[in-house]
Amino acid sequence: MQSLTVIENVTLDGVMQAMDYLPPANRVALGQSVEGQVTAEGKHVVVIGGGDTGSDCIGTSLRQVARIYQTRKVTATYQVPSGSAFIDVQDEVPLDPTITPAQRPYRKLPEIGFDFSWPLYPSHFTPGIDGDFTHFEAPERQNALRADIRPYLRADYGNAGWDITPMLALDAARYNLDAFGGAPRQSINRAAPIFSLNTSLNFERYWGRNDWLTQTLEPRAYYLYVPYRDQSNIPVFDTYLPPLDMQRLFSDNRFSGPDRLGDANQVSLGLTSRFLDNNSGRQLFTVGFGQAFYFRNRDVTLPGESPQTQARSDYVGELTTDLGDHLITRVVGDYNPYTHDFDQGYVSLQYQPAPFQVFNVGYLYRRGQLNQSDVSFAWPIARHWSVIGRWNYSIQDHQTLENMLGLQYESCCWRFLIVQRRFVTLNGQGNSALYFELQLKGLGSLGNRLSDFLHDDIQGYGQKSD
């Protein structure tokens, strides 16, 4: 019962994008008729990604009596001045005890990742290499070993006012697929160069009495070229296409995960402005917007998707405020230049005076799909006692989709959580579930992994407040 990044071969039948699954599910749950609607009832559900969308997928799947998996992972890391490496072992444990080992998703046994760079002072050049080696294993499934490495050479020019950073990289991947279902053991290779050029400027001016406020103006231009490589024969284990935002606008791969390397010939332009309190060092306001311009179609896709043909991306904008007293607001929006309408938007307000004392109010909009409010909180009511809750409401359908209420007791040595959750089933009726967890600090836990779920479901829960 948590938002997870999990592993499943999406070339199999029954794989959907989140926004193709959630809106019809919400309408059917509210008694409407949706032709061809796909449900999670009786299926094994694997959610790739996290945040609000991941939580919505899990909540909707639970309402449809789906079987959900929970990630268990052990990780060891190694760090030196030139970089870091890690090794982890990951398994997906079903919350439904009727699921057999042969039905569970792939395990990572193990995954080894690394990222190293060596600046060549006093020159401007920095060679480096990053990558991962992962062995995917599952009973009665096709097992595989994936190796993905990326050596690169970067040059850094600039000072406090400007920056120019060209980079040339080679992305090389190899898949060793075991024999399965009559198919022989085989190997698949992929290699492609990547060239990027990042340029930015930084202007500053002072405002107010005694110049207490600094405003920055930071224009940025990013060019990316990646030639097309046919990857339709490469299985997809842990890769997905995330929504566009300010961070993804300046990324060298539109996909998250190494199973797909997106072809690109594009320029991304952005402008960010920050307002800094010179007395406290706090960043009071941050506002940014940007757009990508494409010089060719994006033909590399995930299975079942079509190439992207638009010449321009959505306008992407973000606004964050931190006015003190532990109060933070955030506004995110995507404006479609072809339909002249907002494709999606998100508004949130968070008050967090302490790690386990937080109150969130959010509003999520996706044109023609979602129009929802979300309230969540974890708040002390007495010594050692806190109340926990969440309310997710569909404004367009005038219906509560999910509510949750629970109690937490925490002392120096142990923590006890109990949560009651009510949600809407496929036939529009309410259903309830009760979960608990007893955690002995430093030793382990007994019961449902509620703490993991609450970290994902209640933004800021357990995190250090500013």
> Residue type at 112?
I
Q: Which of 426, 456, 4 is nearest to 238 (CA)?
A: 4
Question: Are 316 and 289 in contact, with CB atoms under 8 Å apart?
Answer: yes
- What is the C-alpha to C-alpha distance for residues 299 and 305, in angstroms, rounded to an integer? 10
Query: Residues, the chain, total?
Result: 466
Token duo for residue 301: 């896709």
Q: What's the CA gap between 398 and 248, in Å, rounded?
A: 34
Structure tokens at 96: 């439904």
Q: Which two tokens stand for residue 106?
A: 């792939």
Tokens at residue 368, please? 């023609």
Query: CA 406, CA 245: separation in Å to the nearest integer?
Result: 34
pTM: 0.76
Q: 61 by DSSP, 3-state: which?
A: helix
- pLDDT tens for the chain, 466 residues long, are 333 333 344 444 456 666 566 655 554 444 343 444 455 544 556 666 544 455 556 556 544 444 456 667 788 999 999 999 999 898 877 655 556 666 677 788 899 999 999 999 889 999 999 999 999 988 877 889 999 999 999 999 999 899 999 999 999 999 999 888 788 899 999 999 999 999 999 999 998 888 889 999 999 999 999 999 999 999 888 888 888 888 889 999 999 889 999 999 999 999 999 999 988 888 899 999 999 999 999 999 999 889 999 999 999 999 999 877 788 999 999 999 999 999 889 999 999 888 778 999 999 888 887 889 999 999 999 888 999 999 988 888 888 888 889 998 988 888 888 888 887 654 556 677 788 888 877 665 554 566 666 776 788 777 665 5
Pairing of strands 162-177, 144-155: antiparallel
Contact 288, 330 (CB under 8 A): no
| 324 in Cβ contact with 277 (< 8 Å) | no
Q: DSSP of 194-213, one letter per residue?
A: EEEEEEEE-EEEEESGGG-E
CA atoms within 13 A on the CB side of 20: 8
CB 377 within 8 A of CB 356: no
- CB count in 10 Å sphere of residue 180: 13
Residue 89, C-beta contacts closer than 8 angstroms, at least 6 positions apart? 73, 74, 107, 108, 109, 110, 111
CA neighbours closer than 13 Å in the CB half-sphere of residue 409: 7
Cis peptide, bond prior to residue 110, ω within 30 of zero:
yes
The enclosing H or E element of 113 equals: strand 107-117
Beta carbons within 10 angstroms of residue 153's beta carbon = 14
Q: How far apart are CA 401 and CA 424, in angstroms?
A: 6
> Three-state SS string across 116-139, please?
EECCCCCCCEEEEEEEEEEEEECC
